[in-house]
Amino acid sequence: MPRAERLLMLSDLLHADDTTTIGALADELAVTRRTVLRDLASLRARGLPITGEPGRGGGLRLERDRGAAAVHLTITEIAALWLAARLSREASDLPWDEAARSALAKLLGERVDRRRIVCVQQVRQQQEALSAGHLR
């Protein structure tokens, strides 16, 4: 299994269980304990909040209060979320306007450059249609 695929699988395993062990992860991934330790170090370096407790009742865990799991969205899905947030803001006075704007900025900021350009173009087209009254 390629390393990138293994890292994604390891991240998914950590999200799935409250607590696990290096041995259990090694068995699940069919790799050595040393490989799991290297992969955990890579995930930690990328900002995944993984903690560990030695001894009985211990183990590895992913801190749940540090953001959501990685979600892989298509450009169309991001544009749909932007449009939904925009329509919601236009239709009501809900208090989440700033949170929606911040979340969408994060989504758009994490896209690969070429895809980001396409996404921004799609969002602008939707914004123009909204401004022209075509989506009401």
Closest Cα to residue 129, out of 90, 103, 72, 73? 90
What's the whole-number average pLDDT of the chain? 78
Which of helix, strand or coil describes residue 51?
strand
Beta bridge pairs of residue 59: 53
Q: What is the DSSP string of 101-133?
A: HHHHHHHHHTS-HHHHHHHHHHHHHHHHHHHTT
> Do residues 61 and 19 lie in contact, with contact meaning Cβ atoms separated by under 8 Å?
yes
SS3 62: strand
Largest CA distance in the chain: 63
Give the pLDDT confidence score for residue 16 in this predicted structure.
82
pLDDT at 98: 76
Cα 46 from Cα 62, distance rounded (Å): 13
Mean pLDDT value of segment 5-27: 89
Q: Among 10-14, 28-32, 129-133, which is the least confidently predicted range?
A: 129-133
Which of the two residues, 21 and 17, has the higher pLDDT score? 21
Domain annotation for the chain: domains and CATH numbers? 3-62 (1.10.10.10), 75-131 (no CATH)
Residue 112 has pLDDT above 50, yes or no: no
40-70 burial string, b = 16+ CB within 10 Å, else e?
beebeeeebeeeeeeeeeebbbbeeeeeeee
pLDDT tens, position by position, 36-88:
999 999 999 888 889 888 888 788 988 866 555 566 777 788 778 878 887 77
The predicted model scores a pTM of 0.50
